[in-house]
Homo-oligomer: A and B are copies of this chain.
Amino acid sequence: MTAALPAIVIQEVAPRDGLQIEPKWVGTPDKIKLIDSLSAIGFARIEVSSFVSPAAVPSLRDAAEVFAGITRRPGTVYTALIPNRRGAELALAARADELNFVMSASETHNRANMNMTHARSLASLAEISGPAHEAGALLNATVATAFGCPFEGAQPINKVLDIVSRYLALGADGITLADTTGMANPNQVSQLVARTLLLVPADKLTLHFHNTRGLGLVNVLAAHDAGARRFDAALGGLGGCPFAPGATGNVCTEDLVNLCQEMGLATGLDLRGLIDVSCRLTGLVGHDVPGQVAKAGPASDLHPLPERLRHSG
């Protein structure tokens, strides 16, 4: 029996993009338990952690221990974010199934975020590609700030496409376009996705949206209408933005699954199971999380009649 390919592939990034910004330390056993719960739900891909400077992202300094502790579900790709060769070596040593290399379309943002020029980042990618493939790992390459940079503003579409082409030439197996600080709008998404799909097949292209200005799901639908099929999302909508205190984070996984379910788009993911895990997040991170469906319940959940109507005929 072969499982049908879902209409939309949702990839879970809460353990990495969600937890990286949390001020409260989430213990390694709790991280492992969260990832194991996500594995049990059956995600095709889970971004486990990142191998970056522990000084820059102290909340993920236990990346190697987390990789060592998780139970790997056959069929799930366990990914590690990496910015450079050193990160790649550590991720391969931790037996990551996939390296997710990140560089920002905006060089200003790349320098602010990674302390690297474009030339330096691309040179790292060139060094990483061979060892990754020799180790049997996949290599995904992300264009961060693809839909706008908080310092530079809008990024020219040809600049983003040029980076995608360079990534492919340097051996990337998959491409992610990331709206790092939630600046995308649906018109722009339609255009960039349509142009990128001329370079990258839909099963190799991931869209990564943040809900910073409430447009996460709007942009997912615009990308889907333009032909995209793979989307990153974070349970509970975890993952903030350093430039927008109080703003929401990534597109919320269970909100997206509820939307897909209401629209008849198969995701292969169990909404009740997701909500169960999501409801434990508040205890884990110590604050309310932005996801809505975990609070309101799926649209299909009906409520009992008010008492006075139950006996009045």
Contacts and interface: CB of A to CB of B under 8 A. Distances in A.
A267 interface: no
A75 interface: no
Nearest to A305: B151
Contacts of A211: 292
A83 interface: no
A302 B244 contact: no
Given A214-B252, A292-B247, A185 B299 contact: yes
Interface string A272-300: 00000000000000001001110111111
Interface of A: 108, 111-112, 148, 150-153, 182-183, 185-188, 211-215, 217-218, 221, 241, 243-248, 252, 255, 258-259, 262-264, 288, 291-293, 295-300, 302-306, 309
Which of A112, A214, A293, A298 counts the most B-chain CB atoms under 10 A from its CB?
A214
Given A112-B305, A302-B153, A186 B221 contact: yes
Nearest to A306: B112
B299 A148 contact: yes
Nearest to A112: B306
A151 B297 CA distance: 14
Contact of A309 (B112, B185, B247): B112
A10 to B, nearest CB: 15
Contacts of A188: 262
Given A182-B299, A213-B258, 7 more contacts: A108-B305, A151-B302, A153-B300, A211-B292, A217-B218, A245-B295, A248-B292
B150 A302 contact: yes
A137 B176 CA distance: 55
A66 B187 CA distance: 41
Contacts of A309: 108, 111-112
B151 A247 contact: no
Contacts of A183: 299
14 contacts: A148-B299, A151-B302, A182-B296, A182-B299, A187-B263, A212-B292, A213-B292, A213-B298, A213-B299, A214-B258, A215-B217, A215-B259, A243-B303, A248-B292
